[in-house]
Structure 1
Amino acid sequence: MEVIAAVAAGAIASACQNAVLSSWLVSICPQRDYAKELGERLSRNAHIYTPGSDNFAAATTRWSAAHAPEAKLVVIPSIENDVAETVKYANELGMPYLAVNGGHGAIKTVGKMKNGIQIWMHQLNGVELSEDETQAKIGGGAKTKAVTDALWAAGKQTVTGLCECTSILGPGLGGGHGVLQGRYGLVSDQFVSMNIVLADGSLRTIDESSDLWWAMKGAGHNFGIVTSVTSKIYDIIHRDWAYESFIFTGDKVEALYENINSHLPNGGSLPVDIMHYSFFFNNPEVDPNNPLIMFFIIQEGNMIVDPTYTKPFHDLNPIAVDGEGGVFTDLATWMGNANTSPPCKKAGLVNYRFPIDVESYNIPAQRQVYDLFASATKETPALNGSFFLFEGYSTQGVKAIPSESTAYPFRGDNLLISPVINYAAGADAEIDAKAVELGENLRRILHEGSGREEMHTYVNYAYGEETKQNMYGYEQWRQDKLLELKNKYDPERKFSFYAPIV
């Protein structure tokens, strides 16, 4: 009997080591102190937050309140090896984990992370220039504003997204669009090397000599946690930047987007110093019945946007015009994407995006989506805060890099389009269904208008129902290569919460 009891005790002790216990075991197993256990393996300045604390709530609050991952611990590494130790510990327990930078990834697939560890990267935020000042080592949690400000102070710049509160690596691992991409290519095209924690918990340095390098530049969320990246940086060519903005009423949809197609084409001929940006939005104080259209032209190297570009839009008789000159670091404030701007606030809203990349504007489709956006947001007032974003970056630098050289698949596209359907969290299921239906229908109209069989969607804006082909390309060789690398580097599918490839 003593032998049987000893065996039984050993079996129970072994079972109690599991992170997830059966209900009958909970009553007899002692409660494990995961925070204490993991904390003993981390560096002195690392932190661990547990549910119920103010810090935990702040760390887990996201830009979109829908489909949030569920964490039992939040780990804040202070050195890169802390990430490796956290992954090893989680693997030992069989717990899932997810790295988080700015918390702006709204894709619904992250909500599949349950009862796991969130690795909040924000302490890994350094920006260090190389001795020859041609490269910078950027921490895995560094935000856009920190990077642009640090480089600007040194007379340097690189490709980043426009929004100050998002990270460099969050968008960069999916390609990463930015204002300077016409000169230099995507955010990921600047990568020289990176430190990455793989699924087995090893911390490695990789560069173009690694077979994994191709995948990290466009599908990188699927293969590891990047703790730092070394990126190309460049001398500032022009310190001066300018914008001019216009507000149009809905009757100008056709004329506005025809003018953009005619005067600001992106098909390789949009100058590297120009970008345009527009969105539909509701402002009942100005027009209680229909959305308005905000349109920006941004130019590098001038304090006033060249009238050659702006005159065709003045001729459309906008209801408001504005403009200003300044420097590159003013752009986010001008465009409403600064740290203090509404898009950077985590205001308890559900934010669904339904992206599509196209080559040019189909004018009848633009009218259709405007009318649908207007009617839907009017009929369902809860959706009235939604907006519909159209981004036109110069693409010369993007297209100069061979498409097959990186996992980013859609270098031939010119326009990045995304309806952002939002409403207050806690709304009933009917509102949620209406939001998804609206977003999908808006995208469907644009896809049909494009005349393409393929639907291209920017992975960093994805809703979460897109296919692997939509996000990572339709060529079979691309899909095969991604799967081969996934099987090699992450056979147990540890990194499958953000736009998974399998």
Structure 2
Amino acid sequence: MEVVAALASWGLSSACQNTLGRSWLGSLCHWGIDTSDLSSRLSSTAQIYLPGSVGYTNSTTRWSNLDVPGVNIAVVPGVEDDVAAIVKYANEKNLPFLAQSGGHGAITTVGKMQNGIEIWMNQLSSVEISDDGNTAVVGGGTLSKTVTDTLWAAGKQTVTGGCECTSIFGPGLGGGHGFLQGRHGLISDQFVALNMVLADGTTQTVDENSDLWWAVQGAGHNFGIVTSATIKVYDIQYRDWAYASFLFTGDKIEGLYENINKHLGTQSVDVLNYSFFFNYPDVDPAKPVIMFFILQEGVTAVDATYTAPFQKLGPIMTDAARGSYTDLPAWTGNGNESPPCQKAGLVNIRFPIDLESYNVAAQRKAYDLFASATQQNTALNNSLFLFEGYSLQGVKEVSPESTAFPFRGDNLLLAPLITYAPAGPDLDRAAAKLGNDLRQILWEGTNRSELHTYVNYAFGDEKTVNWYGYEQWRQEKLLALKNKYDPLRKFSFYAPIA
């Protein structure tokens, strides 16, 4: 253990012996956490952070400040075996635990973890490409940008999420959409083998020979902590990428989404689109505007076949640029320096729904509600409404029955992102109502009885069928595996199965 943690452990041990009543040290003693004992079980590079320290603040700060976990201590594993030691210690003391990497999991169910141990995975960050160049071993706490940049420098790439500051395995355990999914499938489709710590603190390599293999590809948050994994990597096929962007006023809703359905609904593997509603008073002080992107691989300018229909709609602003794959997060506002990657003390909650195509009338109705609600309640006027249209060929090439990810037949990922500064339960309720009302409008527009929600964007009030699929066999299979590998429900804080 580093010196500062060792000194803190000594101080805590001394305080426990003296039982300092109402102090925070006393409360740690009350919960049975003896950091001198815990530190003796960990590697020399592991760290323990106590409340009040900078390390504790850095390790426990999350992207969204609604229903956050209650963390008594944060423990930073220095090597993979440390994760197992921490889980075993927590089990001995009957303490809950929760692993965190990028801290962007905003689902409210994580708030059920109280008076527990956070396992901050940030030191387990590494990317090692195999000698044959077909796979790489990635540390369990590695963030997406590290994976992308390391592979790119070696002439390789793989599927990661579109946001640079999230981990690769946080999204991956829930399936994981990404810019390259049309070529190669979801993040989880890249898994070759996962080294995992299970609920009892034992370790297991989960691969195609394991009965957990199916479950970890879509519902993996419920079964263990990934300490490292072997994933597929690919030679860079196209270094060039380009985008074209269009800014539209709200009167263009019908034309925009009709054209997306018509011209991009079955888009080529090299094309994706992305749009969002947001308030931009400098352009329109009364109504939200819509930013729309077309991104294309292997070109220095987006093909006019794709851009022409949207140019004809009369955007109030356009832009275009050329670059490489590594530019995509910054282009779409998801780079490390972009607002979505900042932990600014805000509440950020999403209400996802997967669709087959846009119902244009529902888009209008949702836009009008988003406009009126964010204008009337100014606390919510920094919110966004996201519409993601990835290419799909690689996702749909994988048999739907072969993994726990349930909704491979859907084509679009939509999610209101309601953002606001914390101001009490009344605003929390208003924000949640707006998000759910917007999602309800879109769901009614599908004429489906099923509500499909992407687990990595989930708010937390959804049902397990919404996250993991309506088929009875899916629910039964997940529950049977959960009862086998986690009967005491140690992993019950991120979109729990039951």
Q: Same fold (TM over 0.5)?
A: yes
In structure 2, the CA distance between the partners of 1:32 and 1:472, relative to structure 1 (3 Å rule), is: closer
Quickly say closer, same or farther: Cα 1:212–1:32, change in 2 above 3 A. Answer: closer
Q: Deviations over 1:81-101 (max 9, x none)?
A: 000000000000000000001
- Contact kept, 8 Å, 2:33 with 2:93, in 1: the verdict is no
- 2:454 counterpart of 1:471: no
Letter in 1 for 2:321: E
Give the deviation of 1:309 after TM superposition.
Answer: 0.3
Q: Tell whether the 8 Å contact from 2:276 to 2:290 is kept in structure 1 after alignment.
A: yes
Q: Quote the offset at 1:337 in angstroms.
A: 0.6
Q: 1:154 maps to what in 2?
A: 154
- For residue 205 of structure 1, report the CA deviation from its aligned partner: 1.1
Contact 1:192–1:207 at 8 Å: present in 2 too? yes
Contact 1:102 1:143 (C-alpha < 8 Å) held by counterparts = yes
Q: Quick one: which amino acid aligns to residue 477 of structure 2? A: K
After TM superposition, the structure 1 stretch with the greater mean CA deviation from structure 2, 146-155 or 198-207, is 198-207
Please show how residues 81-120 of structure 1 align to structure 2 within 5 Å: 81-120=81-120
Match of 2:430 among 434, 458, 470: 434
Unaligned runs of 5+ in 1: 1-15
Name the structure 1 match of 2:125.
125
Q: Tell me, what secondary structure is at the counterpart of 2:59?
A: helix
Report the secondary structure of 2:219's partner residue.
helix
Where does structure 1 differ by over 4 angstroms across 4 or more consecutive aligned residues? Answer: 29-33
Q: Percent of pairs identical after alignment? A: 64
Q: State yes or no: 1:415 paired with 2:412.
A: yes
User: Are 2:298 and 1:301 aligned?
Assistant: yes
TM-score, normalisation: structure 1? 0.93
Is the Cα contact below 8 Å between 2:31 and 2:115 reproduced in 1?
no
Cα 1:31/1:277, change in 2 over 3 Å: closer
Q: Is the partner of 1:456 in helix, strand or coil?
A: coil
Secondary structure, counterpart of 2:176 in structure 1: coil
Question: Is 2:446 aligned against 1:450?
Answer: yes
Please, what is the CA RMSD of the aligned residues?
1.6
CA shift for structure 1 position 32: 5.8
Pairwise CA distance, 1:33: 5.7
User: Out of 402, 405, 412, which is 1:405 matched to?
Assistant: 402
Q: Distance in 2 between matches of 1:120 and 1:348?
A: 19
2:436 alignment partner AA: E
Matched, 1:485 2:481: yes
Give the structure with higher Rg (CA): 1
Q: Which residue in the other structure is 1:333 paired with?
A: 330
| Residue type of the alignment partner of 2:323 | G
Cα distance in 2, alignment partners of residues 31 and 435 from structure 1: 34
What is the number of equivalent residue pairs in this alignment? Answer: 476
Structure 2 unaligned regions, length at least 5: 1-15
Q: Please report how far the alpha carbon of residue 147 of structure 1 lies from its aligned counterpart in structure 2 after TM superposition.
A: 0.2
In 2, the alpha carbon distance for the partners of 1:403 and 1:157 equals 25
The correspondence for 1:494, drawn from 467, 470, 490, is 490
Kindly indicate whether the alpha-carbon contact (under 8 Å) linking 1:35 and 1:50 is maintained by their aligned counterparts in 2. no
Q: Say whether the 8 Å CA contact 1:135–1:233 is kept in structure 2.
A: yes
2:181 corresponds to 1:181: yes
* One-letter code aligned to 1:151: L
Q: 2:230 is matched with which residue?
A: 230
Distance 1:386 1:37 in 2: 46
- Pairwise CA distance, 1:429: 2.1
Rounded to whole Å, the distance in 2 between the matches of 1:49 and 1:341 is 28
Task: Compute the TM-score of the two structures, normalised by the length of structure 2.
Answer: 0.94
TM superposition shift of 1:204: 1.5
Partner in structure 2 of residue 209 of structure 1: 209
Instruction: Give SS of 1:495's match.
Output: coil
1:428 deviates by 2.7
Q: Measure the CA separation in 1 of the matches of 2:473 and 2:33.
A: 46
User: Tell me, what secondary structure is at the counterpart of 1:465?
Assistant: coil
Q: Separation in 1 of the partners of 2:420 and 2:462?
A: 22
Instruction: Give, in whole Å, the separation in 2 of the partners of 1:342 and 1:97.
Output: 29
Residue 279 (structure 1) aligns with: 276
Counterpart CA distance in 1 for 2:126 and 2:102 is: 15
CA distance in 1, matches of 2:393, 2:208: 23
Q: Distance in 2 between matches of 1:285 and 1:349?
A: 23
1:9 is matched with which residue? none
What residue identity is the alignment partner of 1:191? F
Residues 195, 250 of structure 1: alpha-carbon distance in 2 compared, 3 angstrom cutoff: same
Residues 64 and 349, structure 1, Cα contact 8 Å, conserved in 2: yes
